[in-house]
Amino acid sequence: MARKTSGKKTSRRKTSRRTVPVRKRRAPRKAPRRTAESLRKAVIGKAHARKAAAVKGPKKRVAADKQALAGATPPWTSVEIEEAFRRFQAAKPHPEGELKHVNPFTLLVAVVLSAQATDAGVNKATPALFAAADTPARMAELSEARVRELIKTIGLFNTKAKNVVALSRKLVEEHGGEVPRTREALEALPGVGRKTANVVMNIAFGEPTIAVDTHIFRIGNRTGLAPGKTPFEVETRLLEVVPDHYKRHAHHWLILHGRYVCVARRPLCESCLIADLCKWPGKTVQQ
């Protein structure tokens, strides 16, 4: 039997819909622009927060040096290079060469004698030599035998005695007894190569040259600061990356650093000024 329905209409209660405001999406924040000054502060901040560096074991150090010589060490940023030389300057504002001399001529002779010899060894022999002859004219008057006798404690003294007398005579005959200021004229002297010319130009005449010896060659490659397969390549790279206001003393800072801190066999990373900046994979920096 069908169910009767009433004729009354049922009304449904209408519910009002609340309008929810649409939220606008926030535009992503742009990263603050990293200026050179902000990058420098970031580098300095890390340096202040760092702990001592440590070196890895002998096998890993040797492998790391081979990797560095192969050019696999990451390059430095310009900010890191600026910071490294700022620290060098702060630690030693006026670095000086360690070869004893009294004038540009005796400096030239001392640098020629220092080839494949230590500065300390040269400094033991040169006082007597320079007492006998401290000018090109006086040195030219000495016989090779006399010079050999005075420098016999230095390696390769036979060849060096010959070169010292010959360059002294050439200075008298072609340069009026004065040490020339140009690289070309210096390299034309017997026993004088590019490194010797750079040292004389820098120390005697204040030129912003960089003399690459074994220490600087090692540092340039090991740290990644100025990699190169030859001393000339390392020198060229250093001249490109070292800020102009540090070039006058750059080779002194690097030589001293290589001689006393970043030594060949076991570098003293724990006392290194630039350990946190150095890219050498043979060290670790304990953060």
Q: How far is CA 64 from the centre of its chain?
A: 18
Name the catalytic one among 65, 160, 213, 276: 213
37 vs 29: CA distance, rounded Å:
21
Name the catalytic one among 51, 65, 92, 195: 195
Cα separation values, 99 from 94, 147, 200, Å: 15, 18, 11
| One-character DSSP codes across the chain | -PPP--SPPPPPPPPPPPPPPPPPPPPPPPPPP--HHHHHHHHHHHHHH---EEE--HHHHHHHHHHHHTT-SPPPPHHHHHHHHHHHHHH-SS---SS--SSHHHHHHHHHHTTTS-HHHHHHHHHHHHHH--SHHHHHHS-HHHHHHHTTTSTTHHHHHHHHHHHHHHHHHHHTT----SHHHHHTSTT--HHHHHHHHHHHH--------HHHHHHHHHHSSS--SSHHHHHHHHHHHS-GGGHHHHHHHHHHHHHHTS-SSS--GGG-TTTTT---TTEEE--
263 vs 274: CA distance, rounded Å:
14
Catalytic residue flag (residue 213): yes
The tokens for 273 are 């000024």
Catalytic residue flag (residue 195): yes
Catalytic positions are 195, 213
